[in-house]
Structure 1
Amino acid sequence: METVLIADDEINIREGLKNIIDWNELGFEVCAEAANGEEALCLILDKKPSLVLLDIRMPKIYGTDLIRMARERGFQGRFIILSGYSDFTYAQTAIQYGVDFYITKPIDEDELQLAICKIKKELDEEHAVSENMELLKTKAKDVILHEIVTGNCQTLEEGLLSPREIEEMNLYAECYQVVIYEKFSENPKDASYSFADLLKITNKGNHTFEHFNEDSNEVILLKGSFALNKFNGFLERYEKNPPQKGSPLDSLFLAYGRPVSNLDEIYLSYEEASTLRKRRFFCMQGQHTLGYGELPKFHEISLEINNDTLEEYSNLLTDYLLAFQRNKVAETLFSLEEFLYNVKNDISSVKLFLKDLFLRIKEKVNHTFHSAEIPFPTNSEIIRRIDQSRYLYEIILFISAQTEMIMNATGRPSRDTILDDIIYYIDNNFRNNIKLEGIAPLFGYSSTYLGKIFNKTFGESFNCYVDHRKIEYSKELLKENRLKVYEIAEQVGYNNVDYFHKKFKKYTGMSPAEYRKSIFTPRDNSSENY
């Protein structure tokens, strides 16, 4: 509904103008009326009416002066001048300030109504054009945003976007980061969280992030340090308090690339997030996020699946099974998981490899224990189970459970030395990213139960024991004085050298560099590598 202001110093004329026109029918409502020019100017600037009916001879401020002052202060509305004079000079001045109609008194009702109808039609057309322009701007921004994020923005590369246009699209920030938000629940009743809900922030005017959908996933561009800090805080909370299994939050997955500082670098963050999203298959149990720090160094990867590796792993696992070497079976399965994480092959090839592997093991075990009744699943069940698994760890756990079943069916297994086997496993694998959640199922325990008995038996937690082994080994490497500190951090399984410093100081009371200095004479120090 458009608004109209009626300004005339005679009250009977104002009342007449309100009544001789059916304003509602014409799409207007009277928002205010004024008895002098000063009052009219204040109301125009305050109410910003679509149309002003204005007597040209107003007390305090003359009509044409009022129009000029209103225009100078940015008023864009329409004017119809009402005058008792058909003076050409008045009309000429009024037209100069953008007056639409100059109607002389006494007012002809039909003439006034035609003027109002014409103005209403023009206003409608202007609104339609404005809405279309806004829609086009929105669509253009969506296209440009998609191109900038995915690295296909020729407009940006060729300098066709001006700084002002980028500013108007609210794309400038001191830093950026791309996150891909995937919801993978098979239950359509699960609640869907918006990204703003997850971060507990508002995004009014898209000040903190932009987003678009791609392949049924939400691609989010975080903008500015506030948004990036909020996201990091969310990741920390999520890691400390993972969602309960079956809850709506348990059905989401976030992949995020590196933070960048320029618009033309955003695609780097996107490419990492996109690659990580496709690697959800390799997540550990309960893991819902993958970040740029967990990307394999693909340019260095030379591993690939072939018949030789298939034969090697099937022979190893079969031999350990026949010897009832649980710790060796668990160690080999862990090694297999690490190997598959770093191969060039795609996920379908990895699943095919695992199907072939287990079917070979089944065939060899059946051949060796041909008289035993081993309750193997059928080949079709094995294939279906592996094909339907969404994670690598699920397949490894399935194979692990089957190896336990085989040993139970073909010998006299004992669990008396299970903790010794676990210690053996840790002592030989602490340089890898081993976690209780990943190890416990390989030995037939839940992580919660194994954590309790480990703590009770050894007087410290699983993680502390692993950290002690890492630190002790790092001390040996520091004594050798041949590797730099960051290289030693990598050798003992800490990808982040700052985190290694923190852990080392926690357990030794000094930094790695200080420890190295403490064990060398001043003459030896001259050859140190820090």
Structure 2
Amino acid sequence: MHSVIIADDEKWIVEGIKAGVNWKKYGFEVIDDARNGQEALDLIQLLRPTLVLTDIKMPEMNGLELIQRGKTIAPDTIFIVLSGHAEFAYAQKAMNYGTFGYCLKPFEIEEIEGMLVRIANQLKSKPVKELPVSPFELYDAVCSGDLQRISQWLDEKEIPLSRSTPLIAIVIQGLSSPVEAQQSSPLIFPMSGRRYGYLLKESQYEAFLQSLEHTEVSQECGIGIGSPIMDIRQLDASLESASLAAFAMFATGLPGCYRVMEQQENLIDEKLREISQTVHIKDRLEFIAAMESIKKLFKEGMFTIKEAYLLYTSVLYLFPRDGTRVYSRFFEGYEQLYYRYGTAEAMIDDLVLMTLDIFMKGNESNISHVSNKKVKEILLYIRNHFNQEISIQHLADQFYLSPNYICQLFKKEVGETIVEHISRLRIEYACKILVETDLSIYQIGEKCGFQDYFYFTRIFKRHLKMTPSQYRGKRNESI
């Protein structure tokens, strides 16, 4: 069965093609889809599909660049361009990049199926290469627990394994091809498209790491060191810990050599409960604070990609239960998460952005009726930071505008000044905390961004014609 990826930022087109085409009839299967060019490139890197159907105009990377870069990564992958009549010239240009053909929107399903027939015939007539034993055979043996085959490879490589001669498993994440070791003869095997495992004698691994020290590998890849192996049955666990350590580059954002740290199960559980509570009470500021604290723990190496995967999937599960759909996709493993985001920091930033809608109740009109893109960005920034000190100058520097212009533009688009807007958000937040918590008035003022108790009380009274204490008492009476 030939594998297919569809790349188009219009979901209805993707779903229509997936459902309308009789893929199996022609020997094809859609294995994934992408909403932008970068995501599609990551999938090509990871899955090496037979065929990619791609739109021309997509966010982050257009279809032409995707074809060029995709061909470099996977030369045998076939591309078909999906384009509107307005992009016809681009579709023709794509033919120069080696695409199989193009379908103009709105297209007929029969047109796509006709191309599948021609591609299938072309693939049948293509001479079959004599392939060596699958390069993943050793890793398959490890995963399936075939100890006899593993022992055979170790004997052929003359790598003894015993309590007196333990082995070290090293995993390098981010390699396009294996690194040969000059001073040692490790057993090298691929574990995925860009991840390689190395088995070598404990007495040799220090020299092996030193040989990598001044190469691009140590500057661009994650190198994970597993626990010593004295029994062949320990190999699987050692490779798994080395893989987690190699993915530490995703957690910290820094390449280099890592050993897996002790798992922080209680800590991640605590953080997930904290996030769940912020979602339950619809408190975006607390949600952002929780996510920022988790981001810091990743940078400190306290969490691995295992916790990143747990965090990502947990957040996506939390929001639909609350009745809000999060427009994102679940990943099938660590590798897909790694290639989609690159770092835990980027993943967390995306989670904060994609979950914005659930916290917008009562404030939708402030952004939805604003036409100026820059003002929308300023509004979103203020909404995420209004409990911190925000000056006009800080906003001007942040968004590359003059202080006078940013004030005039904001007032024109929003209908209130920046100071008025920040004060209103703080008071609305204070009202929420007054009802939902037992915090003191002073603590609530600080939590909302007011450093002076009396100033907080005065501003609160100006907005609601009563003090914070009176508001709390009145709300409690009505419950």
Could you state the TM-score of these two structures normalised by the residue count of structure 1?
0.31
Could you state the TM-score of these two structures normalised by the residue count of structure 2?
0.34
The structure with the largest alpha-carbon Rg is: 1
